[in-house]
Amino acid sequence: MDFLFERLTYIFDPLHHFWEHERMHRRFALGLIVVFLGALVSIELNRQGLLPASLAAHTPTNHFHAVNLAFTLVLILEVVSLIFTLPCSFSKSVGKQFEILSLILLRDAFKELSYFAEPITVGTELTPVLHILGYGFGALVIFALLGVYYRIQPGKKQDMGLPHDLFRFVAAKKGIALLILATFFVLGLGNLYNKITGLPQIDFFPVFYTLLIFTDILVVLISQCFRPSFHAVFRNSGYALSTLFIRLALAAPPMYDVALGIVAVIFSIALTLAWTRVFTIRT
């Protein structure tokens, strides 16, 4: 088993270093700018009737679709970063999930702009305006609560026992992260193929968060092999429940999704306080 754990670490660590390198972040940022500007130009060309019919059929005519595309790409990059944080602590992984949720709400706010004609005019139908306000303030509340969540995290990591047990536990989580990363790319390529061929597309982020729920439960069970403690199981299972709240938020109607997202963050804050202020063993 140690050979397997070493191979998983050997594969995961270079990928993690490659992804988190500052040079790669700059290249991704430049790529996002190019895609955003290219989308704006393509939409304008389509509005002017200058695109070939084959491209025009797949190109929207509302410029705000370019904003939605840019935010979707940002979310994809954040999801990959989330996958690489899975071998870290449960609390850090859940915090990254809340970061993604806040960005999803901001994207949904901008997505509402696609329902307006250009130039934007506000008539008697105020539902899109209310949705923009709700998603915007909801993302802001989650962003603020996320700061509280990170602030109350304990500075000292909990003892995982013997060093070789910690190595095995982290290596097992790295193996899970590699499987999720492969699944992520398969889902993404499948969705891209469906879009090009005109087939129905899956709702990517809800499917991914559903996968995270099963992943969190699997990590809870694996942690039992190295730290069989009621308090640790309850804490980790509670964080897995936070992921379930986020998944429910992504499936809920407008404004209910915002409320569920806020509840998920508050639950995680309460769980962290209970763990660090009540059940943490003082030395």
Closest among 195, 172, 202 to 4, alpha carbons compared: 172
| Cβ 261 vs Cβ 101: under 8 Å | yes
- In the predicted model, is pLDDT for residue 176 greater than 80? yes
Our CA angle for 130, 136, 140, nearest 5°, is 140
**Can you say whether the dihedral through the CA atoms of 217, 219, 225, 229 is positive or negative?**
negative
- In the predicted model, is pLDDT for residue 161 greater than 80? no
**Residue at token pair 């992804």:** 19
Total tally of structural domains belonging to the chain:
1
Orientation of helix 90-111 relative to helix 256-274, angle to 10°: 160
Which of residues 163 and 154 earns the better pLDDT score?
A: 154
83-97, 110-124, 189-203, 229-243 — which is least confidently predicted?
Answer: 110-124
Looking at residue 227, its pLDDT comes to 73
- In the predicted model, is pLDDT for residue 282 greater than 80? no
Q: Which domain holds residue 183?
A: 2-279
Confidence bin at 159 (pLDDT 50/70/90): low
Q: pLDDT for 121-145, tens place per residue?
A: 777 778 888 999 999 999 999 999 9
Looking at residue 39, its pLDDT comes to 93
Looking at residue 270, its pLDDT comes to 96
